[in-house]
Structure 1
């Protein structure tokens, strides 16, 4: 347990380092999936490691120590007491951060769904009269696409097809769930914040590629993204951010990157490894506690 329990921390440091490389070299769909999966596994393993470190304090409980002394048993100390106490504090912070992230996600989704109230359930596209250019894919059953009249007015007919194809790709591939999962992972483990940013960008690139394939013109897709960015300014139409504009447009002006599943699988193996080491640490701790507890 002395080493295994800290492995998720090491993986938490490695994932942010490899995520930019995977994002550049691997197809967006594959990269987004493996980075999100690895982040969720690592965050879960890290939280469980904190539970293990906190549980190790049971071996220092006065009744346990007294019983061991009376029986002449030697108590193994898997972790220093200060680390166990720190793990308890960290675990409380993790629970608080995850609860806050869940509340934020729920509020955002409720607010978006309220904008679609009053429309038939089978209506996919909802156009809101607004002078602010915006476009959203709203997950749910059914999923909806919310676009403002200002955004539609800023685009040509061909660019509108790109916009709708982009948002449909978000719904079809459940990008909302993917981003939510990695957001909760980053809430549980702040070290994974860069991985969340990478996945958020990659799902947009994924939707860009899907839109380009559907309309059959990468140039038109790039122009639609550029026009949407100029129209929305610093807003969130097509989830544009100033830093991402040139990267996404440049990517559409080149050939799509290969899937490179071996590299993607190696990243996923990091998350799986963190989970396996946490499981091994659990087994070690159970053995120690069975020897220590009467």
Structure 2
């Protein structure tokens, strides 16, 4: 089998190294989308490469060997047997990791929906009486915003507008889907962990920028973010899209400068990093099929 079967793994390392750095220089909305779909493509390509490496063991299956001998063909061993076995074991690990993420996402969504149970269907804002300062978006149909009384009490009226605009941005742009996709990609390919973290940070920055646009004041947005973070400390629900975490210092600093440019050329470069693994996996597939059928490559 050609070297192409290993390129998705190598390109995963490159994406994890440069993707988050490039993303921080782009507009958050563009960067979050580009990094997410690049990670998904790369994870799919690396998983398929593992499938190809494990499938290469079929070349040693007795029926195939007997058929090749009858036809006078010589089967070439595509990869060392040890690599094929290791790939099969890795696939089992990947399946377990993806299953755990899916189960965690479903449990989190059920828990969040239970917080909104009993409220009319058209209710967007759910205020929970709690001494813990929290605010987060609950994706779904309809999407809800849950804010505790402590969080509302900690913010001034203008800052409450920022908070609600931030959470509405999470719902309007379906940030939950992007974060989930990035989590699944990192579960399938642990090398993409830095990209998953970058996407989670970027959707928060994206919501910050949308809130700043809606209220028309970046300084007020930064102040609201700082006050909410100080009020919340580390009391936050796991898995929700929430206002008061994710590298708050960097987010506040970003709001005190001009919005970052889109940098379409950089976005295309990152997308190319996701396309190349897919092309490598496709070429490796052709190579494996040719080797197993005895067709010269």
2:37 matches 1:31: no
Aligned to 1:163: 163
Q: How far apart are 1:24 and its partner, in Å?
A: 2.3
What is the TM-score normalised by the length of structure 2? 0.95
Pairwise CA RMSD: 1.2
- Please, which moves more after superposition, 22-31 or 182-191? 22-31
In 2, Cα distance between the equivalents of 1:50 and 1:98? 15
1:204–1:239 Cα contact (<8 Å) kept: no
1:40–1:185 Cα contact (<8 Å) kept: yes
Q: Which runs of 5+ in 1 are unaligned?
A: none
- Three-state SS of the structure 1 residue aligned to 2:294 is helix
In 2, Cα distance between the equivalents of 1:239 and 1:193? 22
The equivalences for 1:133-152 within 5 A come to 133-152=133-152
2:74–2:294 Cα contact (<8 Å) kept: no
2:248 matches 1:255: no
In 2, Cα distance between the equivalents of 1:139 and 1:290? 49
2:48 matches 1:43: no
Match of 1:240 among 245, 248, 251: 245
Q: Deviations over 1:132-161 (max 9, x none)?
A: 111111111111111111111110000000
2:282 matches 1:279: yes
1:2–1:79 Cα contact (<8 Å) kept: no
- Three-state SS of the structure 1 residue aligned to 2:203 is helix
What is the TM-score normalised by the length of structure 1? 0.96
Aligned to 2:68: 68
Q: Which runs of 5+ in 2 are unaligned?
A: 237-241
In 2, Cα distance between the equivalents of 1:238 and 1:259? 24
Aligned residues: 290
In 2, Cα distance between the equivalents of 1:288 and 1:144? 54
- Please, which moves more after superposition, 161-170 or 18-27? 18-27
Q: How far apart are 1:21 and its partner, in Å?
A: 1.8
Q: How far apart are 1:291 and its partner, in Å?
A: 2.5
Q: Deviations over 1:64-97 (max 9, x none)?
A: 2233234432111211111110010000110111
- Three-state SS of the structure 2 residue aligned to 1:256 is coil
Q: How far apart are 1:235 and its partner, in Å?
A: 3.0
Q: Deviations over 1:197-223 (max 9, x none)?
A: 000000000000000000000000000
The equivalences for 1:56-135 within 5 A come to 56-135=56-135
The equivalences for 1:160-239 within 5 A come to 160-236=160-236, 237-239=242-244
- Extract structure 1 runs of 4+ deviating beyond 6 A: none
In 2, Cα distance between the equivalents of 1:239 and 1:89? 40
- Three-state SS of the structure 2 residue aligned to 1:25 is coil
